[in-house]
Amino acid sequence: MELDNILSKRQSIRKYTGEPVKTEDIIKIIEAAHSAPSGKNIQNWHFVAIKNKEIIQKIADAIGVKNEEIAKQMEKKDSQKADTFRKFFRNFTLFFLNCDILTVIYSREYKPSGYNEMTFAEYDQAEINKLIHEKNPGMQSLGAAIENFTLKAIDLGYGTCWLTSANYADKEIEKCLEEEIGFKKDGYFFAAMIATGVPADGAKSPPKKPLEEVYTIVE
């Protein structure tokens, strides 16, 4: 598929036909993700591709437990906001139960150029921390890999949705995968998920901002 066509087809897919994603295709997709650039070639990613529906359901259940825990705390201040958070979980996270493959993505911390040097030079810690928390080149590297994942999936005829909506349940998801499949990778943490499947017809996406709002050219 031509690149322009792939880019034009990229959208968040939340409805799938139920047709399977071929194992050889998911390997190709992860291979494309793995070819992405990363700061100092750190390659700070690990992909856990899950086809087992029971495990996918258990991940959803783990997120649901955390969602309800937070919602009950919210109820003490505002029951309407608590219910809105519950609806958010049902409407914008649980759809992944219908995908064919759920890929759970792990990452690890990356201290960028200048971090150790500024620490040694005794700069203010708040300024040093901005290199990780605001600039966060480790997450920029991971984002490049996830975008490669998404574009290769489209090239092979699949649709994806990049999920960060469940990141508040990161520890619960990590615990679920450790208990269910024995997966634990030292130094790595849950970062995101990608739902993948054959897209159903009728997917819609919100409009993008006008192009002139998002760029500046200096000649």
Tens digit of each residue's pLDDT (9 = 90 or more) over 104-149: 999 998 888 898 999 999 999 999 989 888 888 899 999 999 999 9
Q: Considering only CA atoms, which of 208, 151, 127 is closest in space to residue 33?
A: 151
The pair of three-digit structure tokens given for residue 168, joined into one six-digit string: 């508040």
Instruction: Give CA separation, 39 vs 43, 98, 133, in Å.
Output: 8, 34, 15
The CA distance from 96 to 15, in Å, is 9
pTM greater than 0.85: yes
Residue linked to tokens 């959803």: 60
pLDDT score at 150: 98
Q: Is 212 exposed, middle or buried (0-12, 13-18, 19+ CB in 10 A)?
A: exposed
